Amino acid sequence: MRLFATAPAGAPLRAPELVEAHPPGDRSAEDRLSDARSSDARFSDARFSDDKPADDRRHLGGRPPGLLHSAGFRFAMVYAVLLALSAAALALYLWWATAGLLDRQTEAAIRADVQGLSERWDEGGLPALVLTIRERLEQNVDDDAIYLLVDPTLHPLAGNLHAWPSPVQRADVLYELSVTRAGAPALAQVQRYDLPGGYHLLIGRDVQARAKLRTLLTDALLWGLIVVGVMALAGAFIVRSLFRRTLANVSATAAAISAGDFSRRVRVSGRGDEFDQLAETINDMLDRIGRLMEGVRAVSNAIAHDLRTPITRARARLEDAALHAMTLDELHGAIERATDDLDGIVAVFQALMRISEIETGSRRVAFTTVDLAPVLADVAELYEPLAEENGLRLVLDLPSSSSASPAASPAASPAASQSASQPVPQSAPQSAPQSAPQSANPLAGPTDSLAANPPAKLLTRGDPEMLRQAVTNLIDNAVKFSPPGGEVRLSAAAGPAGVEIRVADQGPGIPPEDRVRATERFFRGEAARNTPGSGLGLALVQAVAHLHGGTLRLDDAAPGLHATISLPFGG
């Protein structure tokens, strides 16, 4: 049902509908209203109606706003006021252009007469003036001229008035007064003019017709304004209901979503107007939120699942030790292993936190220009002993600076012939290990290294610590999965689009069907089942690559894996 509570402006307009809606003899609208109020407490404050069923209105996000707080009402009022103001301005102009114009014309005519008659007086004195007045009266087609010439005793000498009107005392002032002319009362506008010798001249116009016109015009304009006012209010309500209907679409969707139905989207009318643009923007936002939520859900499921295992293990160890440990040593051993399990869980948490820290993008403020060459050399240096212990050769392959600077001319081919490729030297000839580049010649002594070609700069913009962690993860994986006797190659080159860091190993690789999922959190391929690790390494690498506006690509190296991080140029 419709609710018509206290809608101050709307009630009179809508009242007929109310009467139609309820048969005569039915309880009054007020009674039904109070029923409606008590029947649904949520809408007890509903102070306006709308054209939607009450049921639908629940989707408007709870209690509808009061009339004065309703944006629709405000818009409608602004519309009404603007319309009324423009109508009033039009009426004022009309008034000025008609009644005002007539007024001004009368005044001008009187002034012209005064001018003409005073000239006649100057030329021919009293007789000429009397003659002229008679002539003018005879020639006055409209029969609206009023003249009266009196001698010093106010005795009429000429003119069409019988006596001097008593209110006219001062010269140079326009009087509007009623006079009796030709036996009939009339409204006249007159001016007194004093002549030498005590004669007085009264010149005026009959404005009876003009007064009638003015009344007519006033009435017409007033009625017009009332009609405009009514139309403004009606228009306001139309504006408001349009406004509400459009917003109801959005707010019903939002309410449904906040109630848990995330599949709802804002309806797009297809007109391509501003509201459609808004709807599309909102829908895009909802899609993105949906994807993020899906991701969060997947991750929390994965966390729950992947942490349950080590937690179960730790718990079992502790409980088993509490129940069955026979000696203190056994007890200590169990506690120690459980502590290790917990450390593993903490490590997983830290990796997860780190990934989400990276994904929020907050680290982007710390970006600087990074030369990747020393970063890669650092990682290679850190892992070289481990690789050697695993029977692997770790090769660092950086373009040497003797070739054309790749960063400056990205088109230059990063050909292998131009790159300085060497095993990570056992005796890296640098004295400042943090920044000194790897020498092209592993045999070069410390003094020769300055003469040798340092690696070319590989500039990008980013966070060096994060890039180092990404490369570290890739190398860590490669060293972990490669069988003894193989080679792990860490290379970097400037390609046409940016810098590419590649880690190539000769391990089992990742089967094509797993490659897409390999960068998901906690994903562990078949080959990785029996190696230690959390399944977060590649997820972190990908997060770092994305943060830097780059990508992580996994390819088959037959045999082995090519993991390539592509980064845009920077510097």
Partner 1 sequence: MRILVVEDDKDVGGFVVRGLKEAGHVVEQADNGRDGLFMAASEVFDAVILDRMLPGGIDGLRILETLRGQKNAVPVLILSALADVDERVRGLKAGGDDYLTKPFAFAELLARVEALARRGKSEGPVTKLKVEDLELDLLSRQVKRGGQKIDLQPREFRLLEYLMRHAGQVVTRTMLLEGVWDYHFDPQTNVIDVHVSRLRQKVDKPFPSALIQTVRNAGYMLRAEDN
* 343 interacts with partner 1 by CB under 8 A: yes
Query: How far apart, in whole angstroms, are the C-alpha atoms of residue 377 and residue 153?
Result: 127
* 476 interacts with partner 1 by CB under 8 A: yes
Query: How far apart, in whole angstroms, are the C-alpha atoms of residue 539 and residue 469?
Result: 12
* 382 interacts with partner 1 by CB under 8 A: yes
CB closer to partner 1, 146 vs 424: 424
Among 56, 119, 389, 526, contact with partner 1 (rule: CB under 8 A) = 389
* 350 interacts with partner 1 by CB under 8 A: yes
Are the C-beta atoms of residues 509 and 559 closer than 8 Å to each other? yes
Are the C-beta atoms of residues 54 and 1 closer than 8 Å to each other? yes
Could you tell me the smallest distance in angstroms from the CB atom of residue 460 to partner 1?
19
Footprint (CB under 8 A) of partner 1, residues 263-282: none
Cα atoms in the Cβ-side hemisphere of radius 13 Å centred on 356: 10
Letter string b/e over residues 373-391, b meaning 16 or more CB atoms within 10 A of that residue's CB: bbbbbbbbbebbeebeebe
| Segment contacting partner 1 by CB under 8 A, of 186-194, 217-225, 283-291, 359-367 | 359-367
String of contacts with partner 1 for each residue 530-559, x by CB under 8 A:
--xxx--x----------------------
Alpha helix positions (H), 140-207: none
How many other β-carbons are positioned within 10 Å of the β-carbon of residue 498? Answer: 21
Q: How many residues bind partner 1 (CB under 8 A)?
A: 41
Question: DSSP per residue over 252-283, as a string?
Answer: HHHHHHHTT-TT------SS-SHHHHHHHHHH
String of contacts with partner 1 for each residue 196-215, x by CB under 8 A:
--------------------
Do the strands 184-194 and 200-206 form a parallel or antiparallel pair, or are they unpaired? Answer: antiparallel
* 381 interacts with partner 1 by CB under 8 A: yes
* 469 interacts with partner 1 by CB under 8 A: yes
**List of E strands, 37-166:** 145-150, 156-159
String of contacts with partner 1 for each residue 423-462, x by CB under 8 A:
---xxx-xxxxx-x--------------------------
* 363 interacts with partner 1 by CB under 8 A: yes
Task: Name which of 96, 184, 199 is nearest 154 in CA terms.
Answer: 199
Cα atoms in the Cβ-side hemisphere of radius 13 Å centred on 82: 8
| Segment contacting partner 1 by CB under 8 A, of 59-67, 167-175, 276-284, 335-343 | 335-343
Could you tell me the smallest distance in angstroms from the CB atom of residue 76 to partner 1?
50
Gyration radius of the chain's alpha carbons:
49
* 135 interacts with partner 1 by CB under 8 A: no
Which residue in this structure is represented by tokens 């203190």? 328
Could you tell me the smallest distance in angstroms from the CB atom of residue 495 to partner 1?
27
* 473 interacts with partner 1 by CB under 8 A: yes
* 373 interacts with partner 1 by CB under 8 A: no
Could you tell me the smallest distance in angstroms from the CB atom of residue 389 to partner 1?
5
How is residue 448 written in tokens? Answer: 């020769």
- CB proximity list for 70: less than 8 A, separation 6 or greater: 48, 64, 240
How is residue 554 written in tokens? Answer: 């996994």
Query: How far apart, in whole angstroms, are the C-alpha atoms of residue 456 and residue 373?
Result: 7
Query: How far apart, in whole angstroms, are the C-alpha atoms of residue 174 and residue 157?
Result: 22
Could you tell me the smallest distance in angstroms from the CB atom of residue 297 to partner 1?
24
Whole-angstrom CA distances from 138 to 156, 337, 505, 529 are 18, 133, 124, 125
* 383 interacts with partner 1 by CB under 8 A: yes
Could you tell me the smallest distance in angstroms from the CB atom of residue 382 to partner 1?
6
CB closer to partner 1, 473 vs 566: 473
- CB proximity list for 297: less than 8 A, separation 6 or greater: none
* 346 interacts with partner 1 by CB under 8 A: yes
* 317 interacts with partner 1 by CB under 8 A: no
* 347 interacts with partner 1 by CB under 8 A: yes
Task: Name which of 525, 490, 518 is nearest 504 in CA terms.
Answer: 490
Among 49, 472, 482, 542, contact with partner 1 (rule: CB under 8 A) = 472
Phi, psi for 299 (deg, rounded to 5): -70, -40
Among 36, 67, 407, 479, contact with partner 1 (rule: CB under 8 A) = 479
Among 144, 359, 378, 500, contact with partner 1 (rule: CB under 8 A) = 378
* 311 interacts with partner 1 by CB under 8 A: no
Could you tell me the smallest distance in angstroms from the CB atom of residue 530 to partner 1?
15
Q: C-alpha dihedral over 370, 375, 377, 381, to 10 degrees?
A: 160
CB closer to partner 1, 354 vs 546: 354
Phi, psi for 491 (deg, rounded to 5): -130, 160
CB closer to partner 1, 388 vs 514: 388
Among 28, 300, 301, 362, contact with partner 1 (rule: CB under 8 A) = 362
Query: How far apart, in whole angstroms, are the C-alpha atoms of residue 191 and residue 171?
Result: 7
CB closer to partner 1, 170 vs 332: 332
| Segment contacting partner 1 by CB under 8 A, of 321-329, 351-359, 403-411, 487-495 | 351-359
Residues that bind partner 1 (CB under 8 A): 336, 342-343, 346-347, 350, 353-354, 357, 362-363, 366, 378, 381-383, 385-386, 388-389, 426-428, 430-434, 436, 465, 468-469, 472-473, 476, 479-480, 532-534, 537
